[in-house]
Amino acid sequence: MALNLKANPFFLSESDIDWVKETLYKMSIEEKIGQLFCPIGYSNEESYLRPIVENYKIGGMMFRSGQYDDIVQAHKRLQQYSEIPLLLAANLEFGGTGIVEEGTHFGRQMQVAATGDPQNAYQLGRISAIEGGAVGVNWAFAPVVDIDYNYYNPITNVRTYGSDPQTVLDFARQYCKGVQENGMAASIKHFPGDGTDDRDQHLLVGVNRFSVEEWDSTYGRIYKELIDEGVLTVMAGHIALPAYQEKLNPALKNCQKLPASLSPELITGLLRNQLGFNGLIVTDATPMVGFTSAMPREKAVPAAISAGCDMFLFNQSLEEDYHYMLRGFQEGILTEERLNEAVTRILATKAALGLPAKKKSGRLVEANVEQLRTPEFLQLAKENVTQAITLVKDTQNLLPISVTKHKRVLLQILGPYEESNQTVLDEIKKRLEEEGFQITVYQPETMETFMSGQMDTALTIQKKYDLVLYFANVENRSNATTARLNWHTFFGGGNNLPWFVNEVPTVFVSLANPYHLLDVPMVKTYINAYDNSVYTIESVIEKVMGRSPFKGQSPIDPFCGREELRY
């Protein structure tokens, strides 16, 4: 499709278009090449940032979450050093804490969906944009519009709005509205759609195996409607879509089915021409194996832009990738026409966000710490949590628990990350002890435990505890091949495993992966909380003690299609 700066999603005025054209005209080939890059930032020091901006003329940068003063200083320096205003990005999937530690942790996308109210997604987007804007961010790498069809997928999970396409569309639409109404570009991801594979594109080329018809009615419908409604940017994943690649190019062999980030069939053929997307396309992070393993990097770097992407996200080495891109241009892999088109879309996105005028008036980074974690934002976050927590089953009619009946509690935290587990443990233990419960924290058994006959039996565990309470803290993390439970076992036994569900009342609360019932079907009382924030923990305890009703509506099938998990 032809680039149109007056059309959706840019809607540029004549003066904005003049700025884009004049800026492009003045740029050398080397400066245009630089605009294609959005590296990740690691420091706010002038000695680090200034050479990147001045030597490579980058188009944008993204920082991970940091402290307010550090992020503000980094963003101010970046915009000061750059002649052309920069796109400053952040992963704002769950609130302002995606960029600044002092921001509001609103809730994971699936937690928001579990409220059943898309207005909560609007508030998530609004708060993310306001808090991100308070430190200079103008580009949200969110929302995730993947559909969580495969409960084995280790990376989509609670990052999605669930497994129902209509729910994903309804909530994503409101998030985009909340973000873009507040002066920030949204980026829907990860095109052409994750969630059907049981593998992670961080580790290999993901594959969406839907047929053309299945894709059109699910992922395709979501992308089409959000594009028509004006989303400014799309992130291309390292995910293949063989059915459409074969349809658009029947000559393709199986080994040529590249990830979307490198596929002209998917980027130009499907996203541009068929879905009509006129805005900016950015690759997902290019150090991911789904990108790096697809072809030699010296070819892949220019090929991504040649395929139709406009910006290149992150680098193994910015210097190396810049030279690969320049060499690809010189060798004809990347044509001048495609280079100019990509840079025009980058500049048009900046113009659509009003960045040239803000640069002129010195308002690109209007730092305001008072916009972070306001009483209103905290209240909205708490209300979201209260509406979301889902009682999946209580077939033993155990709830509510009470100090009178369940004073002696064996508390277990399950999860692979010690620091996160300790934070969760400390918070839960403190709150339960304040309620009057006597808490014993599970300690892994040893050879000495086994040899001395101290392993619990059915009789001894009944005498020691009135309740066993599990909190699973298996968070989504890049580069993890599964998001399943792992147990500490000793000669096949030990109290980590829920062998005692018929001896002692047992409650299982998942703070992340909503599919853990697959691994603990014997537990009769199971709760999905979708997040491990302080507010979530507080609300879970209120609900299990009967002081607050369960209101959550599961956005996925927590029974994983298996009848035996229901009982």
- Strand-pair partners of 532: none
CA 49, CA 55: separation in Å to the nearest integer? 10
Do residues 97 and 37 make contact, with C-beta atoms less than 8 angstroms apart?
Answer: no
* CA neighbor of 135 nearest in space, from 101, 106, 107, 109: 101
Cβ atoms of 312 and 283 within 8 Å: the answer is: yes
Helices (H) and strands (E) in the chain, counts: 22, 17
Query: In degrees rounded to 5, what are phi and psi of residue 276?
Result: 75, 30
Catalytic site positions: 284
Distances 349 to 185, 288, 309, 410, 500 between C-alpha atoms, Å: 8, 25, 14, 55, 59
* Beta-strand relationship, 525-528 and 390-394: antiparallel
Residues listed for the chain: 567
Question: CA-CA distances (angstroms) from residue 272 to 256, 275, 559?
Answer: 20, 6, 38
Residue 93 near residue 109, CB atoms below 8 Å: yes
Alpha carbon separation from 7 to 11, 26, 186, 232, 276 (Å, rounded): 5, 24, 17, 11, 11
Secondary structure of residue 331 in the 3-state scheme: coil
Angle between helices 46-56 and 68-81 (to 10 degrees): 30
Which positions ≥6 away from 52 have C-beta within 8 Å?
A: 39, 58, 61, 318
As beta bridge partners, residue 526 has 393, 508
State the Cα–Cα distance between residues 267 and 388, nearest whole angstrom: 36
Residue 36 CB-density burial (10 A; 0-12 exposed, 13-18 middle, 19+ buried):
buried
Q: DSSP labels for 448-487? A: HHHHTT-S--HHHHHHH-SEEEEEE-----TT-S------
CA distance 248 to 22: 36
What is the Cα gyration radius of the chain?
A: 25
Q: Give the Cα separation of 15 and 208 in Å (integer).
A: 42
Q: How far apart are CA 533 and CA 513, in angstroms?
A: 14
Please name every residue paired with 90 in a beta bridge, in sequence order, or none if there are none.
140
